[in-house]
Each structure stands twice: as C-alpha cells, then as structure tokens.
Chain A
Amino acid sequence: MPDVIHTPLCAAGHADNRVAGHAPDHLADRDVREIIRDEHLMRRPILEALAEGPLTIPQIAAAIGRPAHEVVYWVMGMRKYGHLTEIKEADDEGFYLYKIVEKEDG
C-alpha cells in the first residue's frame, strides 16, 4: 500500500490539507502518474491562461497557480495532441512561448 501524502490542494482554492508529520518533505512532490492524470483537467485553465496571448511555462504556472514542472507535463501533452504549439524562437531567458492552436471549427 503506497504512502498517502498530504500536500495543499489544487488551484480550486480549497483548504490546505497538509497534515503535520504525515509525509516526509522529500515526498512533497506528486507522483508523475498523478500529475499526468490531471492533464485533461488542466487543459481548460491553461487554455484560458493562453487566451490573452502566448506565455512561457513559468508564466502559465503563475497564471494557474501550479508548479512549473507539472505545467511542463501538461503543456507538452497538449502540444503533442494538437492543442498548443510553440512560437519558434525562445526568449532571451531561454523560455519558449506557447500559444493556442486555432482550429478550423473554432
């Protein structure tokens, strides 16, 4: 039976569920499978964040209130399945900007 770790809940704004002493700090990050499972859930907030224009991964992370490393999984997954694409050149700090792929059917 895996450990159940207690970390703050998602961006939806719920109460902090951290239970003191329950989980070692080094487990505070989520299992990759759990992050990836959220991709469909996070699609809409990411698209909403990008509706105003292209953003970098850290900018998207700030906009939706999630860690950048989790956003990398979601943005790259959305890119793979045709929702997003990058602007060709990275910015001066080495970050690519990602934008919504406009679809014919809107």
Chain B
Amino acid sequence: MTDDSVREYDALVIGGGIAGMESALKLGDMGYRVILVERDSSVGGKMVLFSKVFPTLDCASCISTPKMGAVVHHPSVTALTYAEVESIRGNGKGGFRAKIREKPRYVDEAACTGCRQCEVVCNVAVPDEFNAGLISRRAAYIPFPQAVPKKAVVERAGVSPCTFNCPAGVKAHGYVALVRSGRYEEAFNLVCEATPLVGVLGRACYAPCETECTRGVLEGPVSIRRLKRFIADRHYADGGSAVEIPPPNGKKVAIVGSGPAGLTAAWHLARSGYEVKVFEAASRPGGMLSTALPAFRLPDAVVQTDIAKIVSSGVEIVTDTRVEDLEALRDMGYAAVLVATGTHRSTRLGVPGEDLPGVLKALDFLRAARSGEALDVRGKEVVIVGGGNVAIDAARTALRLGAARVQVVYRRSRDEMPANPWEIDEAEREGVRFVYLATPTRCVGDGCVESMVCQPMELGEADESGRRRPTPADADPFVLDAACLLEEPREASVGVPDIEGAGGFLVIVAAGLTADVDGLGLALKPDGTVETDPVTLQTAVPYIFAAGDVVDGPSSIAEAAGRGRRAAYMINRWLRGEELDPTGLGDVLPVMDKTEVLERQESYRKVEPWRTGPLHTGASAVAGPLDFSELEPPVTEEEALHSAGRCLDCGVCSECRQCVAICPADCIDLRMSGREFEAEVGAVILATGFTLFPADAKPQYGYGRYKNVITGMQMDRLLAPTRPYNDVVRPGDGRIPDNIAYILCTGSRDETVGNPLCSQICCMYSIKQNQLIMGALPLADVTVYYMDVRSVGKGYDEFYEQAKAMGAGFVRGRISDITEKEDGNLVLRYEDIENGGGMVEAEHDLVVLAVGVQPSADVRSVFLDAAPSLDEYLYLGEADEDLDPGSTDMPGVFVAGSAAGAKDIPDSILHAGAAVAQAAAHIEKGRETA
C-alpha cells in the first residue's frame, strides 16, 4: 500500500538504539518534529539486551526502557518500528526526500495486548536473534519482554512453495507444521479451511506441493500428500470432530453436480450460513471420485466419509436427479446456482469402426468396474487408446479384471504423456505395455472389433499445449489384434458379466473428456465447456455460476476443488451485494525463493524420505493376481512425524492460523500489507550502530563447533534478568560452569581478520561479566586471557581492580588455539608471557570470546545521490571528529554513536548529543534561508 501524501519532518533518525533514541529525544525536546525509523520491531538496540552496564552495574534494561518509552510517546517524535528507509535523495532545498516502508507486522498494533498467546501456539521455531541464538523463538513473537512497543510480529518471509502451488488453496506448510507438533486434528481442520476432501486428496492428489518442495532439492520432497492422508485417517478413526454449523442466513443455493468442485463449494457455502442443496445425476455422489477413479487408488469408503462430513455441515445431496432447467431452480427459491457437472462425455476417436461392439469408452468401463458391474475382459487382449490418467486407470483396471494383456497406444512419446509419470511407472510394473508414437486409423471386425490398425507417428513442432505435435511417419501401418496374445490369461479377482457381442479383442478409448451441458441454455466455449468470467466464475446469467472441469476442461481433483472454493467465495459476495473482488482468495506475498531458503543454513543433515521409489509397493511386486484393494499402505504416526520433521519452514510462518484462532484481541491478520510513504526532512541522523565480530572467523577458537565456546554477547544474555536459560549453564550439556575463561580482543586489534582497531568495550564488558559471574556463581573461577587491559574512562580502572579483588584471574597471553575434550571441556594453549614465554595449556569448562565490533555502514546504500563517505576503517566518516563531531562530509547528514566508530554507552550518548547540535544548526540555517 502506498500513501501518496508526503509527510514533513525536521529530522529523520535512522536507528532506534541508544544513540538514535537520544538523538530523537533531544531534537524532540527542542521542538523539532522528528521521525525515527527502526528496522526491528522494538526500539532499544543492543543496549536493552545487555545484562548490566559498566562500571556502575546498573541494570541495562532498567535504564533503557524509560528512554524507549519516552521516544515512542514523545509528542514531537514519530517512532516507526519494523520499518526501513528505502531511499534518500536531496530535495534541492538543503533537505532530503526519504522513502520509508513500514513492514507488515500481520498484527493490528493498536489492538495487540502483548499477551504472547500467539507465540505459545505457534508451530514454527527459529533461532532467537534477541538471545544471540541460544534459544528458539517463534515465527509469531514479541522480541523480548521489555520491547517497546510490546506488540507481536509474525515473521513471514514469503509463501512457502508447497502452499503457493496448491491449486485447492490448502495451506500445505501449515498442516505439515501442525503434524510436526502432534496437532493432528488442527491439521485436519486447516485443510478443511480450503476443501473438505481431505481423505480424497490425501490419496489421489497429484501433489504439486511436493513437486515444488524445497526439500526436494536435497534428498527428496516432504511427503506432503501422505501427511494429508495421515491426518484424514486419524480424524476419521478418532470419530471426527463435529462440524460447527452457523445460523442460517435465510438464503438457498443450488449446486448441480457433486464432484470435487461442487462438494467444495457446498462445504464453504454451508459454513457461510446458506442452505445448500446438491443435485447429482448419478446414483451416488462424488462425481468422478465415486464413479471413475479405481478403488485401488481411491477406496470408495474414503470418498463417502469425506462426503458424510460435508453432509454433516448441513449440505443436502440428492442423487439420481438430473437438472435440465436451471431457471426452475431459481423458481424453487434458490438465490444462486452453481453448475459443476464436470466432464463426463467421452471424446470420439473419429475413426471407422469405432462403434463396433468391443470398442468401449474408458469412462463407461471405469464406471462399470467401480460399480461392480464390470465387463468381463478375462483372457482378452485389451488396447487402451490415450495417454492421460484415465487411460492409465483403465489399463490397470483391465489387468485387475483378468485381461490377458493390456497395451496402451499413445500418439506421442512417453515424455509428452499427460498422465503422471509415477502412474505410468506403476502401470509398467504391473505389466501394462506401452506402444508410443502410434495412432489408430480404424477398428476392424466382423460383428465385433477384432483388430485395430495403427499408423506410426513422429513428433514435429510444439503445438499450443507446448507438446510436440504428432504427425504420420513415413512407415507402414501395423495391426493390433487378439493374435498378439502371448500369455495365458490372468486369473480375475472378481466375477463379471461377459461383454455383449465382444470377442477376444477389446479397444478402450480414453481420448479425452468434454462437458455435457446440452440443454442447460448456457453459453459455451468452442470446446463445449461453459463460458464464464475467468475471475468471478459468473456466467452471462448473473445468478448462475459455473466451476470446475465443466468450465476448465479435465483437470485434477485439487484444481477442481480450488475452483469450487473460488465459486463459493464469489457466490457469497454476490449474494451479499459485494463487489466480486478476488483479493481475499489469493496470497498476499510472493513465493519463497528456494535458494534463499537453503542459504539460511550452512549445512544440512541428510534425512531421506521415509520411503523412496514407488509408494504403491503392492504394484511393484506383481506375484499373484492383482485386485482392487488399496495399493498404498497407510501412514504410521512414526512416518508422519519423520516426514513432517523434514520440512524446512520456507516461508517461516507456516500459515497454520493457530495464532489467529487463539488471539483474544482478534488482532492477527495474515493478509496485512505494508505501507510506503515519502517524507520531506531537513536533516538526517544516521545512528545505525555496529555489528559484532563473527566469532567463527577465528576458527582456532572453535566457535560454532565447540558447544561450550560462546561469545560475550551470549554471556551477557545468560547473565541478564531476562536470560534464555534458568541460570548460567553450559550450552553443551546444561551444567553450571565452574572454571570460565575469557579471551579478550577476539576479532579486534587483529590484523589477521582485517580489524586493527580496539573495540573499546570488550575489556570492560568482560570485566563486568566477571563480576556478575562471581556474584551468580560464587564457586566459579574466572580467568581472563589478555594482551593488555584498556580501562580508560571514569571509574573504569577501579572497576578492573575491583574484579581482580573479587578473584578474577588475569593471564597475559594470546590464545593460539583451543581443543575440545570428550566431556565438553576446553583446552586452551597460549604463550605465558609473564612467566618466561613458554607454551602452556589450561583446561576450562566454558570459554567466552570477547568479540570486538565492526562497522555497520550498509545504510549508505539508501542514498540515491551522493552518500556520506566512510573512514579508513569503513565506519561512517566524520568531517573532523575532533572539531566537528557528528558531521559527515555531506551537508545535512549526521552520524551519531557507534556508527562512526566503536564507543561505549556513555560515549554513544555524548556523541549523539553532538550530532543533535549539528543537526539543529543545519535545520535552523535552512529555516533562515527559506
């Protein structure tokens, strides 16, 4: 969302740490209008996360929080947290035009009470950067207890690829995360938010979620579809929870057709309070689910169980009722009608002889097989014409009914087959043979089909579908007939009637399906499907909508369900007199980039999928007769947890919506968007602070490998009142340490890492920690390894002496390397400078690396014109740090605090004062010249 109005301020302060807050407060106190922009969700910077400050040992958060509260509530200061300055350019009047983006918190800041319930129910754990990675936080989080503002944030990096690619709109990442947490019923209910066909999709979905799963780049995708099967099986085995039925809204909707689109639409409309009646022409509801999909892929009980759930929501389904007059439904009081009749008309081959007995339509064949009235194909040679999933289903069904041999004839090559590759694989394993690059030219027979003449084909240029177009090859036609029989007939598993008039050779045509809506009076497209608005699914007759295959042509169950969901959404809006705006249906964020996801970790443990290769293991070992029992084995809880544990949480927030459900203030909105606006400012103060030296850049100290080597910041968190652990304990095993080592100057005064500067603070914060440790752990020994201790500042040297008097040991010597013992203790090697210079080893049970600081000058990239210069150490440069502190070489741009160089807290505040004075002078000068 972009706000076109330009806001005006006297000063822009970038960074909400101690220097930024001080700058904003002082300018505000002077009466200047200030906008402060902090990228984190709270002001306070690093200072508020410290245990105490040196040398006074005041509680850091106690002295930070008054300033944090003051800056947020100051009448002259607009403090934006979770916001970023996107760009700054000169405005030609001595000031600047800044573009500022407020990132979406996905939480209504005004309504959030900071109760943390969203955190507690969140199912995604990530490292807590506010506790230096020592513990987890949640995707929904409040950064730390003293946060100002104390408002939750939901971290959404993007839409997880699995969710983004689900045509049914199922929050796939969400239910995977819920399974991982053992919250199976919540997972089931989350799928129901998109479609009630949980059991069906758990078995028969072609799982585009898995195709795009980031884990697929590693060992293989998460078995997302099977997790859906698991939660459905679990839900129904446990008896299922009752469906909440809202009070009726007094309006009736008719749905024609009870396939995936119609059923999904009925479910959503019923849950919106409509009285929904579904009219089904067949004797059983479910459309293709009940009549065409073979039971070995989708058992009938699964379909009927899902349908029973839909009925329990108040939906009425009438079967054996063909609707031929839509207007009559209107007359019966239905305010809207949804046509979702699917594609039940088989496409003809268009070759001579196709009406001979023994030439069957695949859909009729599958329907008969499903209903138990299957045709007797025992001992017969069966040829299937087509390359889609219906063809494969027909082929595998024919094998189960006892066909002697089944061949699939397809006019393109295997690569172009529309059937799912794994379905083809499994058909091959069961014994189906494939004849590629051939097309029938006529069916031949005397009284019944006896043979089929085929023309060899070759592939030419790609057609409109993107597949290479088949054209007749320069080769002689060939004949398929019963004489091709090479095997003894298989034993059929079911008793079936004979095929009237058929011989030993059968042709089953699976050349495509089209809609069958003649007589309904709807406008049709050239392919016979219904014409609708592609977005609203509304037909030319306003109260009639159409969705699913009857509009789109043959598609998948998930696609049809997604269209049904859309139709329900649009019908609901239309009946409420609202604009048919699809905004509420889609994702508000882009899909996550997989590379970005994978780069979050330096390494990945290999975790294979639970099973690889064909899931339908029954099909791969065709020793005995095939039957129609379900091929895919059920999912055990162990498998489900293993699979869910492989999820990488690509989007961070999984959209499981548990936070939405539990929030007592109803303040979480996962569809929230950010805001952008521009501001005219007279001056800019850069208070972006510093970054800590990455301790793993000194590999000889083992940080990141040795469990009991931590950084000074981590120790500060362990010592803080809001510490992540219950005490100062070792991260390696939770034991209280009793012999702690400090290594000063880690990454500072060190040319080997490119940082010759003293960090100014690591001596003193280490000494502060020494004293705090000796207070918290009276029995612990503390040894500080140093080159020299720099205690320059009021009371600093006294503070140092006090630590020594309390018992802290100080050993002069640079540590050369550390090794880890089996018990997690650490052996330090150093040159003992004060005792002759020999190499000495010392064992400690916890090592603290007193890391130095580094410049954080990324802020320069926001300047679109000239940017302030850096000094030789890459800190923001000051024009003259002795005579003109706080001024950069760019008029109107000032720097405050450690963005200009390492400083302790008092010096940062002093320096901010200098920057404020400089900025005020610049603002006043601008006013004089205006």
A residues neighboring B (CB under 8 Å):
1-7, 9-10, 12, 14, 17, 19, 23, 26-27, 29-34, 36-41, 43-44, 56-58, 61, 68-69, 71-73, 75-77, 79-82, 86, 90, 93-96
Contact = CB atoms under 8 A, between A and B. Distances in A.
Contacts of B732: 68-69, 72
Given A2-B602, A57-B734, A36 B123 contact: no
Given A7-B606, A32-B133, A57-B735, 10 more contacts: A2-B604, A5-B604, A10-B645, A26-B705, A41-B645, A44-B182, A69-B731, A77-B125, A79-B726, A95-B734
B604 A3 contact: yes
B322 to A, nearest CB: 50
Contact of B119 (A4, A19, A81): A81
Nearest to A26: B705
A80 B608 CA distance: 31
A68 B733 contact: yes
A31 B123 contact: no
Contacts of B599: 1-2
B734 A96 contact: yes
B635 interface: no
Contact of A34 (B181, B601, B642, B734): B601
A94 B727 CA distance: 11
B733 A40 contact: no
Contacts of A12: 638, 641-642
Nearest to B726: A86
Contact of B601 (A33, A56, A61): A33
Interface residues of B, number: 53
Contacts of A86: 726-727
B603 A4 contact: yes
Contact of A68 (B119, B606, B734): B734
Contacts of B727: 86, 90, 96
Interface in B56-104: none
B525 interface: no
A90 B733 CA distance: 13
A41 B136 CA distance: 14
A9 to B, nearest CB: 6
A86 B727 CA distance: 10
Interface in B564-615: 595, 598-608
A99 to B, nearest CB: 12
Interface in B709-759: 724-727, 729, 731-738
Nearest to B604: A4
Contacts of A77: 125, 135-136
B127 A41 contact: no
A2 to B, nearest CB: 6
Contact of A19 (B135, B182, B606): B606
B866 interface: no
A19 B219 CA distance: 13
Given A2-B598, A2-B599, A3-B603, A39 B733 contact: no
Nearest to B737: A94
Among B595, B599, B725, chain A packs the most CB atoms within 10 A around the CB of: B725
Nearest to A84: B726
Contacts of A72: 725, 729, 731-734
A82 B120 CA distance: 8
A5 B724 CA distance: 29
21 contacts: A5-B604, A6-B606, A7-B606, A10-B645, A12-B641, A30-B605, A31-B603, A37-B124, A37-B648, A39-B136, A41-B645, A43-B182, A68-B734, A69-B732, A69-B733, A71-B734, A75-B734, A80-B136, A86-B726, A95-B736, A96-B734
A43 B608 contact: no
Contacts of B705: 26, 29
A1 B595 contact: yes
Contact of B606 (A17, A57, A93): A17
Contacts of B126: 33, 36-37
B125 A5 contact: no
Contacts of A32: 127, 133
B598 A1 contact: yes
B26 interface: no
Nearest to A17: B606
Contacts of A57: 733-735
A32 B312 CA distance: 46
Contacts of B125: 36-37, 39-40, 77
B840 interface: no
A14 to B, nearest CB: 8
A40 B119 contact: no
Contacts of B133: 32
Nearest to B641: A41
A61 to B, nearest CB: 8
A40 B180 contact: yes
A77 B127 CA distance: 10
Contacts of B177: 40
B789 interface: no
A23 B644 CA distance: 25
Contacts of A95: 733-736
Among B133, B177, B605, B736, chain A packs the most CB atoms within 10 A around the CB of: B605
Contacts of B180: 40-41
Interface string B359-391: 000000000000000000000000000000000
A10 B743 CA distance: 35
Contacts of A76: 134-135, 724-725
B833 interface: no
Contacts of B123: 40
B181 A43 contact: yes
Contact of A5 (B603, B729, B733, B735): B603
A40 B183 CA distance: 10
A100 to B, nearest CB: 15
Nearest to B121: A81
Nearest to A3: B603
Given A2-B603, A31-B603, A36 B731 contact: no
Nearest to A94: B736
A38 B181 CA distance: 9
Nearest to B607: A9
A57 B642 CA distance: 23
Nearest to A8: B605
Contacts of B737: 94
Nearest to A31: B601
Interface in B229-288: none
Interface in B878-918: none
B279 to A, nearest CB: 45
A93 B735 contact: yes
A20 B605 CA distance: 14
A37 B138 CA distance: 10
Nearest to B725: A76
A47 B881 CA distance: 58
Contacts of B119: 81
B605 A7 contact: yes
A37 B182 CA distance: 14
Contacts of A37: 124-126, 647-649
Given A81-B119, A94-B736, A40 B181 contact: yes
A61 B638 CA distance: 20
A76 B602 CA distance: 23
A71 B136 CA distance: 12
Contacts of A93: 735
B75 to A, nearest CB: 37
3 smallest beta-carbon distances between A and B, as pairs: A57-B734, A94-B736, A77-B136
Contacts of A14: 608, 642
Contacts of A69: 707, 731-733
B218 interface: yes
A71 B734 CA distance: 9
A97 B724 CA distance: 16
Interface string B169-191: 00000000100111000000000
A9 B641 CA distance: 13
Contacts of B641: 12, 41
B601 A2 contact: yes
Contacts of A10: 607, 642, 645
